[in-house]
Amino acid sequence: MASDQAPASFLTLRQRWSQSRMALLTWWGHLSPARQDRMAMMVPLFSVLLFLAAIATSFWYLHNEEEEREQESIKRDIELVHQQMRLQLIDAQEHWVQMSHEVIAHHITPAQFLTQAQQQMRSHPEILGMAWLDAERHGRAYALSTNPTNATPPPEGLSSAAEPSYLSAEPPASHPASQAFQRAADTHLLSYSEPFAIEPGQTVFQVHLPLVEHGTLTGMLVADIDVEPLLMHAVPTEIAGRHVLSLRNSQGEVIASTAGIPSHAIRPPTRLLSYAIPFAPVGPSLQLRGEGYRTSPNLIGNTLFWMVVALSVLTVWTLFGTWRHMKRRLQIQRTLVQETNFRRAMENSMPTGMRAMDMQGRITYVNPAFCSMTGFSEADLISYLPPFPYWPLERIEENSRLFQQELSGRTPAGGVEVKIQRKDGSQFDARMYVSPLIDPQGEQTGWMTSVTNITEAKRVRDQLTAAHERFTTVLEGLDAAVSVCTVSHGELLFVNRSYRMWFNTDPRWHALLAGQQDNLPTTNPAKQAENIDDLGGLSITELTDAGVDSHEVCLHAMNKWFDVRARYLQWTDGRLVQMLIATDITERRRFEEQAALQAERAQVSSRLITMGEMASSVAHELNQPLTAITNYCSGMVSRVKAGSIDQDTLIGALEKTSRQAQRAGQIIHRIRAFVKKSEPQRQEAKASQIVENALELAGIELRRRSVTIHSYVAQRLPSLHVDPILIEQVLLNLLKNAAEAIDTAQMPKNRRHIELRVTPRHKPDQGGMIEFSVSDTGPGMKDDVAGRLYEAFFSTKADGLGIGLSLCRSIIESHQGRITAENIYNGEAISGCRFSFTLPVGNLADSSKHAAQ
Ligand code: ADP
């Protein structure tokens, strides 16, 4: 039964132990690392402190026990010594009693007393002297010890018969000796005196033995007992070795000691273990005291104790040091873990494949990017030697060569381009960069290769190259000269074929095209610095945002005209540059000049034609003054011949003739001015003046066609900047057309009327302007005619040339004006036609720019 129980309880014990262990491990596992650290620190610290406490307690216990033992030993020794001292005294006492009997019986003389006393003193060194006194305390005989062992030898010259110094004079009644004498005399019993000093360092007590004869005191035997020999002879050597024994008087002063009086007299008695008993025969005035020598055992105990304390403190200090070291290590470890995690995250997130190899070329590491790039897993690659599975079969030789190059560290710093085959068989272009792997000892342990998939980059590069080629081809193929020049140094950064062809990469042409005749780019740095200032302190952005500046430039040296578009750009290197696109427009300019010339000629022709058309009217108009002149002249001639004319009448007639001639001359002058071929000339002109001139010429035609006109010119009109002859021509054309329309349609008299109005207008998009409108009461225009009015050579008239309105429009538009035509309605019916044109007011300098160039 008992044998069954034992394994069962053992099992339970084992189970409990494993359960507690598990619980402890679980608890430990749940602790945070910081707490685990603290615990790991605290447990040894606690153990050390516990150990220190145990040591301290043991020391304290041992110390107490030792003290008790010591105390016991002192007590025993003291009692032994006490016994010994008593025995010595009792022994001496027996002799004295015997001597007292002999003295009382008168068997001995003082001389014999002295002899006996001397004998006793020799056997009892503590007896310093003996005296036989009578009842009045007068000495009968004295004997002093001559024992060489006596601590205080008798003074020089003191014979054994001489009286002791302390007895030479009658001591006072308070002296211990007197008190003891008196007590013995009174009681007739043996009496001990209190100890008293007879010499410095020598203390004695006296034994008084009364001599009583028949009940009467006849004398006294007195013995001086020196305390020091008494003690010395009672203390065995081994006790003296163990303890300090001393005799003390009632004041506690040491009067005899085994260790010598002077040193022990000053020692504080309380610190040491001690035991004291009164010396029984003398009484409490003489104390026997024992003190333990505890110096050396204490020293060793203390040294041990303090060594243990010091070691414990050292251990705690070491623990703290270890803990701090651990903390630092933990911090470093944490930083390392962070660093590792950071690097791993970085490595995992980057698209660059990483592959490490040892010095033999065995793959030791591949990162996830490398795996996903190639499609092979880590297991497919790690610890493999070449040929690697991602080498394309057809390129094994080339790859082996590159691999050897890699192992020998001769891979170019810019990397090598390779083809990599994925697990699925597809291939891609990659660039490999190789760098040596160095361990902490500075020794190379292998090679690290980074692999970048450059398929996309290559595609982009190819596309970029193609785009660049296209761009270059387009630019090179352009008929326009393209040039890019730095603003600060006038350095030509780019020119295309046309520029090279015309200007031969000379930057000064760029400056000329840009219109910087006075500020050609130069190699003079001071001048270049000034060029920078020419930007007027504008920032690059302000300049680049300014947009395109377009102008036309004539390079007289080449006799060419260019349409130049300039804009500021920020070049690829950040510098501010000016780009010019100069298109050769010499041909266009020539054509334009010819067209302008032709237009001018056409205008003049048109004016001549108009005049031609108006020739009959003009002839008719001129006929009147000429007829009048003729009539006046014939009348005057006949009346002069007849002599029937007086001077006043003649003068009147001549004046009339002259006026008619002037009128004819004025008509001719106006016509000449109108048809005269002259350069187009813009000038400040008043609308009223233009209207007046136009009406004068048109009036001839209107009168012939019996059409009336009413004109209205608004007051205070601003002046116009126009060529007045051309505007007059337009007005004349419109008035003539109106009159022709009325006349051709043979309108009745009440509908043979034209209205000319000149009024100011303002349009938000065009600004201030003056509107001229010519309204007639003719038949108006049909829709098909209205759509083709301004076509050259379009006419509905049998003899019409159809260039009038087309010229009118080009004249008006060249003055930045607009011409419109519309029918006038009276209800549903057309009641006439209105032609109107506008001319802008103000400075038309812009329009003159082209002409100036
Ligand atoms: P032409 O007078 O030589 O025919 P224009 O260019 O001056 O040439 O006029 C073109 C045509 O416009 C005319 O043939 C005519 O049909 C029409 N036209 C011009 N002015 C008027 C008007 N006031 N009323 C009706 N039709 C007009």
Residue nearest to atom 22 of ligand 1 (CA): 738
Specify the CATH number for the domain of residue 578.
3.30.450
Residue 163: predicted pLDDT: 52
Q: How confident is the model at residue 8 (pLDDT cuts 50, 70, 90)?
A: low
In a domain, 715, yes or no: yes
pLDDT(79) > 80: yes
Q: How far is the CA of 737 from the centre of ligand 1 (A)?
A: 6
Atom of ligand 1 nearest to the CA of 778: 24
In a domain, 179, yes or no: yes
pLDDT(266) > 60: no
Q: How confident is the model at residue 298 (pLDDT cuts 50, 70, 90)?
A: low
> What are 429-459's pLDDT values in tens digits?
898 898 888 888 889 899 999 888 888 888 8
Q: Are residues 144 and 93 in the same domain?
A: yes
Q: Are residues 653 and 690 in the same domain?
A: no
Region of poorest pLDDT, from 680-689, 709-718, 773-782, 817-826: 680-689
What pTM, to 2 d.p., does this model score?
Answer: 0.43
Q: Are residues 508 and 608 in the same domain?
A: no
Q: How far is the CA of 786 from the centre of ligand 1 (A)?
A: 9
Query: Pick from 559, 584, 609: which residue ends a domain?
Result: 584
Q: Are residues 851 and 738 in the same domain?
A: yes
Q: Are residues 175 and 255 in the same domain?
A: yes
Over residues 673-701, the mean pLDDT reads 86
Q: How far is the CA of 785 from the centre of ligand 1 (A)?
A: 9
Q: 92 lies in which domain range?
A: 71-292
Q: How far is the CA of 799 from the centre of ligand 1 (A)?
A: 11
Q: How far is the CA of 837 from the centre of ligand 1 (A)?
A: 16
Q: How confident is the model at residue 413 (pLDDT cuts 50, 70, 90)?
A: confident
Element (H, E) at 245: strand 243-248
CA-based nearest residue to 712, from 687, 737, 739, 685: 687
Residue 788: predicted pLDDT: 92
Measured distance CA(232)–CA(75) in Å, rounded: 18
Residue 614: predicted pLDDT: 81
Residue 594, classified by CB atoms within 10 Å of its CB into exposed (0-12), middle (13-18) or buried (19+), is: exposed
Residue 294: predicted pLDDT: 56
Q: How far is the CA of 806 from the centre of ligand 1 (A)?
A: 10
CA-based nearest residue to 485, from 600, 566, 375: 566
Q: Are residues 265 and 161 in the same domain?
A: yes
Which residues have C-beta within 8 Å of that of residue 625, sequence separation ≥ 6?
660, 661, 663, 664, 667
Residue 707: predicted pLDDT: 95
Q: Are residues 733 and 771 in the same domain?
A: yes
Mean of per-residue pLDDT scores for the chain: 83
Q: How far is the CA of 760 from the centre of ligand 1 (A)?
A: 26
Residue nearest to atom 8 of ligand 1 (CA): 802
How many C-beta neighbours within 10 Å does residue 454 have? 17
DSSP letter string over 17-71? HHHHHHHHHHHHHHS-HHHHHHHHHHHHHHHHHHHHHHHHHHHHHHHHHHHHHHH
Residue 694: predicted pLDDT: 92
Region of poorest pLDDT, from 520-529, 736-745, 799-808: 520-529
Measured distance CA(515)–CA(50) in Å, rounded: 101
Cβ–ligand 1 distance for 182 under 6 Å, the answer: no
Cβ–ligand 1 distance for 738 under 6 Å, the answer: yes
Secondary structure (H, E, C), 641-701: HHCCCCHHHHHHHHHHHHHHHHHHHHHHHHHHHHHCCCCCCCEEECHHHHHHHHHHHHHHH
Pairing outcome for strands 202-213 and 191-192: antiparallel
Q: Are residues 659 and 701 in the same domain?
A: no
Q: What percent of the chain has pLDDT over 90?
A: 21
Specify the CATH number for the domain of residue 633.
1.10.287
Q: How far is the CA of 510 from the centre of ligand 1 (A)?
A: 52
Q: Are residues 705 and 852 in the same domain?
A: yes
pLDDT(825) > 80: yes
Cβ–ligand 1 distance for 707 under 6 Å, the answer: no
Q: In the structure, how many helices (H) and strands (E) does the chain have?
A: 25, 27
Atom of ligand 1 nearest to the CA of 805: 6
Cβ–ligand 1 distance for 776 under 6 Å, the answer: yes
Query: Pick from 679, 706, 737: which residue ends a domain?
Result: 679
Pairing outcome for strands 353-358 and 363-366: antiparallel
pLDDT(522) > 50: no
In a domain, 333, yes or no: no
Q: How far is the CA of 836 from the centre of ligand 1 (A)?
A: 14
More confident residue, 215 or 853: 215
Residue nearest to atom 16 of ligand 1 (CA): 796
Specify the CATH number for the domain of residue 700.
3.30.565.10
Residue 144: predicted pLDDT: 80
Over residues 109-121, the mean pLDDT reads 86
Residue 7: predicted pLDDT: 61
Atom of ligand 1 nearest to the CA of 801: 3
Q: Which residue has the tokens 């005191």?
A: 217
Cβ–ligand 1 distance for 800 under 6 Å, the answer: yes
Residue 74: predicted pLDDT: 87
Secondary structure (H, E, C), 789-811: CCCCCCCCCCCCCCCHHHHHHHH
Per the structure block, which two tokens stand in for 441? 């000892």
Strand partners, 711: 756
Residue nearest to atom 15 of ligand 1 (CA): 796
Residue nearest to atom 18 of ligand 1 (CA): 737
Specify the CATH number for the domain of residue 153.
3.30.450.20
Q: How confident is the model at residue 737 (pLDDT cuts 50, 70, 90)?
A: very high
Residue 708: predicted pLDDT: 95
Residue nearest to atom 21 of ligand 1 (CA): 737
Cβ–ligand 1 distance for 628 under 6 Å, the answer: no
Taking only Cα atoms into account, the Rg of the chain, rounded to an integer number of angstroms, comes to 77
In a domain, 42, yes or no: no
Cβ–ligand 1 distance for 747 under 6 Å, the answer: no
Residue 507: predicted pLDDT: 86
Q: Are residues 761 and 718 in the same domain?
A: yes
Q: How confident is the model at residue 845 (pLDDT cuts 50, 70, 90)?
A: very low
Domain count, the chain: 5
Residue 234: predicted pLDDT: 86
Residue 524: predicted pLDDT: 46
The sign one gets for the Cα dihedral 682, 683, 688, 691 is: negative
Residue 155: predicted pLDDT: 38
Q: How confident is the model at residue 196 (pLDDT cuts 50, 70, 90)?
A: confident
In a domain, 538, yes or no: yes
Residue nearest to atom 19 of ligand 1 (CA): 737
Atom of ligand 1 nearest to the CA of 807: 6
Q: Which residue has the tokens 């507690």?
A: 20
Q: How confident is the model at residue 169 (pLDDT cuts 50, 70, 90)?
A: low
Amino acid at site 693: N
Name the residue of 606, 754, 775, 805 whose CB sits within 8 Å of the most ligand 1 atoms, as the mutation to test its pocket: 805
In a domain, 355, yes or no: yes
Q: How far is the CA of 668 from the centre of ligand 1 (A)?
A: 26
Cβ–ligand 1 distance for 728 under 6 Å, the answer: no
Residue 517: predicted pLDDT: 58
In a domain, 9, yes or no: no
> What are 688-710's pLDDT values in tens digits?
999 999 998 899 889 989 999 99
User: Angle, to 10 degrees, between the axis of helix 33-104 and the axis of helix 227-234?
Assistant: 120
In a domain, 508, yes or no: yes
Query: Pick from 650, 679, 708: which residue ends a domain?
Result: 679
How many C-beta neighbours within 10 Å does residue 469 have? 10
Q: Are residues 516 and 625 in the same domain?
A: no
Q: How confident is the model at residue 718 (pLDDT cuts 50, 70, 90)?
A: very high
Q: How confident is the model at residue 350 (pLDDT cuts 50, 70, 90)?
A: confident
3-state secondary structure of 843: coil
Q: Are residues 191 and 236 in the same domain?
A: yes
pLDDT(426) > 50: yes
